[in-house]
Amino acid sequence: MRVGALISGRGSNLQALIDACAAADYPAEIGLVVSNQVGAQGLQRAERAGIATTTVPHRDFDTRAAFEAAMTGQLEAAGVELVCCAGFMRVLTGAFIGRWRDRLINIHPSLLPAFPGLDTHACALAAGVKLHGCSVHFVREEVDAGPIIGQAAVAVRADDTPESLAARVLVAEHRLYPACLRLLAEGRVRIAGDVARIEGDVAPEAPLINPVP
């Protein structure tokens, strides 16, 4: 499956996808990386891997619709079938989401539907949850909503700061995103209403319990 990635910055999740795609038996390849930020670190990661990149600066466009149409044009020209948001910091709207419906996924740093939006790690600490994590989901018009493909959980520790918690969640993100993309590329994800169903037995038996019993 030929995928496109939308980024705005560091691109560590993009790097995880690049690394996964390098394996001979991985069923996806990245055809194009699009950044809305000039000089995003993720662009260098793609270039180093020999992947085509383009910058579509949102400020160059009068409307969000025109910005998104320009991105769709680039993705279509690259033959992209599925779009992965990987730290893409613009809210996507109607026509773009419609054009890529069920072919547009995102990684969000919380166990959705808890903590949509920004500052998820600080919100998790303020709420006192003992498990936190990340989710890969299909993009819908409601921000950080949409059928969930996969989630990874990490234990929250008593001495966690938003930064320390973010760092542990990020490690989990880098494992989760390639795993979910693989399932999609293998055609093992079906959407039934508001829910994504995974074909085959992928759920582990063991619970993650915090505190350790």
Interior CA angle at 34 toward 170 and 8, to 5°? 45
Is residue 45 a contact point for ligand GRF (CB under 6 A)?
no
Q: Of the two residues 122 and 170, which places its CB atom closer to ligand GRF in the complex?
A: 170
Identify whether 108 is a catalytic site residue.
Answer: yes
Q: Tell me how far apart the alpha carbons of residues 61 and 68 are, in angstroms, rounded to a whole number.
A: 9
Q: Tell me how far apart the alpha carbons of residues 80 and 30 are, in angstroms, rounded to a whole number.
A: 8
How far is the first Cα of the chain from the last one, in angstroms, to the nearest whole number?
43
Q: Which stretch binds ligand GRF (CB under 6 A): 8-16, 53-61, 179-187, 194-202?
A: 8-16
Q: Which stretch binds ligand GRF (CB under 6 A): 10-18, 65-73, 111-119, 196-204?
A: 10-18
Is residue 54 a contact point for ligand GRF (CB under 6 A)?
no
Is residue 11 a contact point for ligand GRF (CB under 6 A)?
yes
In the complex, the smallest distance separating the C-beta of residue 197 from ligand GRF, rounded to whole angstroms, is: 23
Tokens of 141: 């018009």
Is residue 151 a contact point for ligand GRF (CB under 6 A)?
no
Q: Of the two residues 87 and 150, which places its CB atom closer to ligand GRF in the complex?
A: 87
Contact track, ligand GRF, 90-119, x by CB under 6 A: -----------------xxx----------
Cα–chain-centroid distance for residue 198? 17
In the 8-state DSSP scheme, what is residue 59?
G
Closest to 49 measured CA to CA, from 34, 62, 33, 27:
33
In the 8-state DSSP scheme, what is residue 203?
-
Give the residue at shortest CB distance from ligand GRF.
87
The alpha-carbon radius of gyration of the chain (Å, integer) is 17
| Active-site residue list | 108
Task: Catalog residues that contact ligand GRF under the rule CB under 6 A.
Answer: 9-13, 86-87, 107-109, 134, 170, 173
